[in-house]
Structure 1
């Protein structure tokens, strides 16, 4: 029983904070898009899957900043909402007319927001 309690304590100490988890998910989405961008000829078939994952991530982000009880300052919430709109438009544009070049902005936005969340 004691070893189970110790294992739980270790897992609890290594659990990610909410910001770390958000950062990790953004990095994962950026990595999926980067893999496709880097090897477009062989990986472009996975584009819609990667864009769908990115869309889910940004749907959560956009929803979180629109919550009335979100503690972020109004200007930050507005900026993130505007950024979300840009991301959604870029994803739709990329689905309609796929190209590797269009992924660069999405990758950069994800990486930069992830860095901000992690304090880098």
Structure 2
């Protein structure tokens, strides 16, 4: 019997990077030239559902956004959010989408009066 895997590329990416060792290894390789800055045992999954209401003169629109993977950890004692967004096809607007995700997160943090400073995002 041959087993087949019906994972979409997006869900395969989420499944792979849900492993903290893989996430930390990939992030360290890409961001820190392989230096072990991000430790797998210090990763905490972070809620990444975001909602934005766009209100223009014609109509109000509720946009929901969700990143593929978001984790919270510290880098040299500074709490940071690290995200991975999978895109299986070329999308020239991807940089704008990722920028929107970051701005929504910063807006959410600004509303949280308990935070003393914004948590950086990568």
Whether these two folds match at TM > 0.5 is: no
* TM-score (normalizing by structure 1): 0.30
Structure that is richer in helix per residue? 1
TM score, norm. by length of structure 2: 0.30
Q: Which has the higher strand share?
A: 2
